Structure 1
């Protein structure tokens, strides 16, 4: 799988024209993509790409590899699709870790349909907001939300995930709508913290760079559903992922603010250890979730 990932990353970088653009598609940092390309060039013993401040340029060898790599990746995908379409060939036990609330609503409920398609696969879920060690704890796959920085893991994007700052219309009628990031100092900002301690601040994009704003509030917790409940009761404002509150946004029970500061997206990703080959059972489950999450209206009807 390491060779597949290296080729896939090479193709993405070549097609996107930059490591930054390719990192958005791959769900990893530009630095990780750079290391993958270095590893591919070292293994092949050739230079595939010239990198400079002006951009990327493929070498003649890189051009030849790009065309062949595209075809190989298509053939590989076709092979996996053929296996997944032969349910009798997909078998085994699949151990899956997922965030508690997300897993409860958007992963585990689909288990029965997956087993209907693949009756020879058994599923076991650990729904926890703790980041588990997939290797030492024996998991085949983890569903995670946010960037995966660890180069020992492979991450595949399952669905985009937007985060927004929001509150109730009644709250904003009483306290006003924040127009700038500095206005947050005048609001009761409800914090989500897994540590249960001091708030680390909220991250925004301002003038093309990430900035962290210190905020204050009288309530904090490590449970997203409780935090959303406080927001819906008009206690204060908070930032949540749209997969949690899309129904409330659609109904107007919650409204967003500071949208122009574009909170960075935290994609929903499937993650597995880099050193492991990806079995058919795992690939089929990943493709199964991609299919579900990309269905028209899915995120509106399940939140």
Structure 2
């Protein structure tokens, strides 16, 4: 059934050019909010009626989501509630033709600082994932994907979105990031060699318009498969639960910053829209220094 949530999703996809993941998440939040208002107001909710949403309505909705209703609903954490509120605000702004949404202060969320892993652990993680694969080409694939995350700072989605057109490789790689923005990242010789080794082993032709990284049945490799493999490998290596594929990207950024990389250059390499997103890595580096200090100083 088409309604304001569906129309909102079309707007996000076609006019704002948001990723399919963002569109899906925001549409789901909008559908939940419309369902709540329908029950809360006792009337059908359309785009025009959304203009009369007040802060009290938002407060009631968020309370219902945080507390949770029924045995299967445990409620939202503060971080999830804040994301839900952000999506609903965007929905209301769209309904008001980009006008202001009602002012309502959501739950406070402590901003987490990414925790990098050491270069040796990053390589060991990639090697462990590759070695557990029974098929040599699958091991070569996993090694190449994880080296891209750590060696070039790609998001997992960016790596898996690469197509056969990326071949033959040069010294740089064109990457399509969030909101379909492209950037150029340098390829270390080790990363380039890993991708070329995989390309020479994969049992399917790597056509220009087809995914570069393939699953065992020939389709595009799923991010979920990579996450599960990393989860198993980190357990064997005794690494933290926070060691995810995305942690390799964090490690890439933190290690570059620790070696004197300029924040603006790092912003370009990571594909961040604003410098504020990149500045979190200055906190990461400071946190790492404090860890070294506490572990090494005799009076710490």
TM-score when normalising by structure 1: 0.25
Structure that is richer in helix per residue: 2
Relative contact order higher in (CA < 8 Å, ≥ 6 apart): 1
Q: Which has the higher strand share?
A: 1
| TM-score (normalizing by structure 2) | 0.25
